[in-house]
Amino acid sequence: MAQDDFDLFVIGGGSGGVRAGRIAANHGARVGVAEEYRFGGTCVIRGCVPKKLLVYASRFAAEFADAAGFGWRMGKPTFDWRALVAAKDREIARLEGIYAANLEKANAAIFPERATLLGPNQVRLHSGRTLTAGRILIATGGRPTMPHELPGIEHAITSNEAFDLETLPSSIAIVGGGYIALEFAGIFAGLGARVTLVHRGANLLRGFDGDLSRRVLEAYRARGIRVELEATLLKLDRAGAGAPIVATLNSGNAVEVEQVMFAIGRMPNVEGLGLEQAGIRTDRNGAIIVDELSRTSVPSIYAIGDVTNRLNLTPVAIREGHAFADTVFGDRPWQADYENVPTAVFSTPEIGTVGLSEEAAVSRHGIVDIYRADFRTLKATLSGSDERMLMKLVVDGSSDRVLGAHLIGPDAGELIQVIATLLRTGVTKRDFDQTMPLHPSSAEELMTLRTRSARRIQHHDPQLGLMP
């Protein structure tokens, strides 16, 4: 029998695909990786990395204002959007080069073109070439969802385009209430745009702890961001190129803006991939169904990352890719652990969260204790800003184990990374109490949460389980 062209062919050169390809090649597999757009994928090219760079840019305006309280005197700062976009582009081009180079260094063959499935061991490249592989890994990620039926939707953009706008819009309506919508609302507001956030739900950040979603809403409104809750868009009208977009809401009100951006969710990138021909099962959202070892319904085909819609974060895609490569090519089976995954929302104020929200903890545990600190930061005492920090621990009242930690305020993302390790090791509230605080810091407040803010008790019904 003729040998396959590759032991592994990876479709998608993003976070997960590149890690899987590189590790499999290091284990001695003959690897090919196809990428239809740019190596690095969503995170590097139009996700986490450029997003965080824009977040940094957006926070300087408040920093300049804060500096005055510390004695600094300066002229009126001005901002150059094009300079920022160009600097951001240089950095992502550098990272893109590193991603491709790392694959090549590991002796993987790279194909800068689209690939689709022809069968359990066969792919077709856009150039027309057909290749065979012992195993195929689908790591095609996701893309923004757009309501294509909305009249005037052609006037709207997604996060993909927001990174590369020719000019900074003076006003923008952002549709959505998830982390991407909030981050971009914060970015554009910080850079001086008039921002309207339109969200169909009653609360921002569905699934997050209620204190975080309430606080970010208050903070955004205090920053002058107009937040329309339980609101949807009925249509978008534009009189002509260059004219403002008129966004009509279900309330009958209309907002006139220069840009409209949709951030209402993302969907798996499976269109035209040939899943049906190969016999791969998907769920009702189009996500590829996999088992804990990332195996699809076809034994030779695996899938990782956002295309499987498990936990759509870069480090998760990377772990899944690494676990796949070690398991299949390194004779070292392991799987990604989805417990206590820390998450940040780079809104301003920033959010860091890990573990169970108060609401989730109450539905799963009999007695839940809540400890909260809500304070003005030390820096704000001189800057005169209204910057605050809210910190919250959700504790199992029976075992004293910390079930969740939720922070909103400066550096919340940095802090939560370390707290996630503590939660993995089963940290108790008593451990926090016994740790010497570091003074003066915001983090020390976590060690001095002496007084319980609330105790939530559920009564157990033998038939119905826990009752609120």
Catalytic residue ranges: 439
**Is 96 a residue that touches ligand FAD (CB under 6 A)?**
no
CB of 385 to ligand FAD, least distance (A): 25
**Is 11 a residue that touches ligand FAD (CB under 6 A)?**
yes
Q: Which stretch binds ligand FAD (CB under 6 A): 14-22, 240-248, 290-298, 351-359?
A: 14-22
Q: Closer CB to ligand FAD, residue 188 or residue 432?
A: 188
**What x/- string results for residues 122 through 161 when contact with ligand FAD is judged by CB under 6 A?**
-----------------xxx-----------------x--
Burial (CB < 10 A; 0-12, 13-18, 19+), residue 94, is exposed
DSSP strands (E only) in 397-458: 402-408, 454-457
Taking the C-alpha atoms of residue 292 and residue 308, their distance in angstroms, rounded to an integer, is: 11
**Is 109 a residue that touches ligand FAD (CB under 6 A)?**
no
Torsions phi, psi for 406 (to 5 deg)? -140, 120
CB of 32 to ligand FAD, least distance (A): 11
Residue 42, token pair as written in the block: 């969503």
Q: Closer CB to ligand FAD, residue 122 or residue 269?
A: 269
DSSP strands (E only) in 239-318: 245-249, 254-257, 259-262, 266-268, 301-303
**Is 20 a residue that touches ligand FAD (CB under 6 A)?**
no
**Is 180 a residue that touches ligand FAD (CB under 6 A)?**
yes
Q: Which residue of 36, 359, 374, 433 would you call a contact of ligand FAD, by CB under 6 A?
A: 36
Residue 307, token pair as written in the block: 């295309």
- Measured at the CA of 336, the angle between CA 334 and CA 309, to 5 degrees, comes to 135
Residue 102, token pair as written in the block: 């790392």
Peptide bond into 349 cis (omega under 30): yes
Q: Which residue of 22, 114, 135, 199 would you call a contact of ligand FAD, by CB under 6 A?
A: 114
**Is 43 a residue that touches ligand FAD (CB under 6 A)?**
yes
**Is 62 a residue that touches ligand FAD (CB under 6 A)?**
no
CB of 125 to ligand FAD, least distance (A): 9
**Is 172 a residue that touches ligand FAD (CB under 6 A)?**
no
Please say whether the beta carbons of 351 and 322 come within 8 A: no
Taking the C-alpha atoms of residue 434 and residue 441, their distance in angstroms, rounded to an integer, is: 17
Please say whether the beta carbons of 61 and 190 come within 8 A: yes
Q: Closer CB to ligand FAD, residue 249 or residue 341?
A: 341
Torsions phi, psi for 345 (to 5 deg)? -115, 120
CB of 294 to ligand FAD, least distance (A): 11
Q: Closer CB to ligand FAD, residue 116 or residue 213?
A: 116
Q: Which residue of 5, 6, 7, 14 would you call a contact of ligand FAD, by CB under 6 A?
A: 14
Sign of the CA dihedral running 205, 146, 139, 304: positive
**Is 79 a residue that touches ligand FAD (CB under 6 A)?**
no
Question: Whats the size of the chain, residue-wise?
Answer: 468
| Start-to-end Cα distance in the chain | 64
CB of 205 to ligand FAD, least distance (A): 14
> For residue 399, which amino acid is it?
S
Residue 160: which of 188, 180, 186 has the closest Cα?
180
**Is 269 a residue that touches ligand FAD (CB under 6 A)?**
yes
**Is 32 a residue that touches ligand FAD (CB under 6 A)?**
no
Taking the C-alpha atoms of residue 371 and residue 361, their distance in angstroms, rounded to an integer, is: 13
Torsions phi, psi for 118 (to 5 deg)? -110, -20
Q: Which residue of 173, 187, 313, 415 would you call a contact of ligand FAD, by CB under 6 A?
A: 313
CB of 320 to ligand FAD, least distance (A): 8
**Is 236 a residue that touches ligand FAD (CB under 6 A)?**
no
**Is 34 a residue that touches ligand FAD (CB under 6 A)?**
yes
**Is 15 a residue that touches ligand FAD (CB under 6 A)?**
yes
**Is 319 a residue that touches ligand FAD (CB under 6 A)?**
no
- Measured at the CA of 55, the angle between CA 176 and CA 147, to 5 degrees, comes to 20
Residue 64, token pair as written in the block: 């300049």
Applying CB under 6 A, which residues contact ligand FAD?
A: 11-17, 34-37, 41-43, 47-48, 51, 114-116, 139-141, 159, 180, 269, 273, 305-307, 312-315, 317
